Copies of this chain bind each other. A is one copy, B any other.
Amino acid sequence: MVNKKLKTNLDTALLILEKSLPLFARAGYSGVSMRNIASAVGISGAALYHHYQDKQSLYLATMEYAFSDKATGIQSALDNTGTPEQRLERFVANFTKQMASDPDFRALLHRELLDGDEQRLKLLAENVFIEPFKSIKQLAQEMALNCDAHLLAISMAGLILFHFETESIRRYLPGGLKKHNDPKVIARHVIGLLTGEFGK
């Protein structure tokens, strides 16, 4: 109750984004109503329209909020010290850990890949993936992996993300174990595959 004057405008607008993010992540754009969001925030539906013009604007703002500082987090896994192999290992371990800790981000990412329009896909690319992508491509070149760097960067992300994406179904597939959801186990496996250390 202290300083109620400051608890206005910007605070509510931000609170709305905070509350709508997990709703959109779990049910998607058309699975969430403005009333759902309003009641999660604790205000009336009409009040939402004071902060955001319409549902689409609110959704876009939620995506901007969800993606805003993800790039720096991912980028931090890509510092330039050590051998290429060490940097690869550090990146995979770190990226896996970050993805494991943020299921809402993962869900929004996959929903955007399915449903995103040009504007939102561009936002996602520019705000989140372009910079890490460049670094990974450079890393691929330094490792002298003799393949298309773009394809390799996609493969690295896919190797990690797909294990989380399939978490819900792997329990119905033969050999599925709890440990396969452990970010450390996943990272170890991906590093092994990428460095060819599994032999053959």
Contact = CB atoms under 8 A, between A and B. Distances in A.
Contacts of A112: 169
Give the dominant DSSP class at A's interface. helix
Contacts of A114: 28, 107, 110-111
Contact of A155 (B129, B145, B157, B189): B189
Nearest to A161: B162
A31 B28 CA distance: 9
A2 to B, nearest CB: 42
Contact of A177 (B29, B144, B150): B150
B189 A144 contact: no
A121 interface: yes
Q: Which of A31, A154, A155, A198 has the most CB of B within 10 A?
A: A154
A113 B169 contact: yes
A131 to B, nearest CB: 10
B146 A199 contact: yes
B199 A168 contact: no
Contact of A198 (B137, B147, B180): B147
A3 interface: no
A196 B146 CA distance: 10
Given A31-B30, A155-B190, A159-B159, A113 B166 contact: yes
A141 to B, nearest CB: 11
Instruction: Pick the 4 closest A-B CB pairs, nearest first.
Output: A158-B162, A125-B172, A150-B175, A196-B196
